[in-house]
Amino acid sequence: MSVRQSLLAILDQGPCYGYQLKHEYDRRTGATSSLNVGQIYNTLERLERDGLVRRGEADERGHVYWQITDDGSLEVARWLASPVIRRNTTRDELAVKLAVAATLPGIDVAAVIRTQRAESQAQLHALQQARYPGESTGGAEELAWTLVMDSMLFAAEAETRWLDHVEERLSQRPGTAASLALATERPKRGRPARIGAA
């Protein structure tokens, strides 16, 4: 959703062609989550379908400029005025992996955590060492890069702290206390058996 809204917000500043939008998105997000041009054009076509942008004529160099509509500008204003709601979801891949591993008999969960911690710490170290790739002038592009990198750094630090917490929580249980065997009671719902063709 943020890619769609970000592209709309950029178009709210003035008409742009596809590759120009990619460049502007990269400048405004520190190029930490660069988009490919195909993704830009797919998004533009969906925005056009939804009446939020319109396609202009190609210029002499073949660039097709996209322009925001009034509805698109209203959508940008709504997006900027609304908070980002982080859903309480259990679909975090790492959390699910460790939860499943912790309930499987015979799995060395401590080894799973050690492997993940090594990767998480390497990522954290890389983020801590990252330096702004352009000339440091204190300008808007550097600020955008710094904001995105700080967010990634804080998330990586939180992940390593959470791994410490998981390890501590698991150390308080005997080895098999968290293991789950397959349930003996079968769920009432499921795919019906196929009946052979007549």
pLDDT in tens, the chain (198 residues): 588 999 999 999 999 999 999 988 888 877 666 788 899 999 999 999 999 999 998 899 999 999 999 999 999 999 998 887 777 665 778 888 888 888 877 888 889 999 999 999 999 999 999 988 888 888 888 998 999 899 999 999 999 999 999 999 888 876 655 676 767 787 777 666 676 655
Q: Which two tokens stand for residue 22?
A: 């990619």
Q: Which two tokens stand for residue 187?
A: 């769920």
Element (H, E) at 177: none
Burial class of residue 14, CB neighbours in 10 A (0-12, 13-18, 19+): exposed
Beta-carbon-side half-sphere exposure of residue 70 (alpha carbons within 13 Å): 0
| Predicted model pTM | 0.70
List the end-to-end C-alpha distance of the chain, in Å, as a whole number.
48
Q: 10 Å Cβ neighbour count for 75?
A: 21
Q: In whole angstroms, what is the distance from residue 36 CA to residue 29 CA?
A: 14
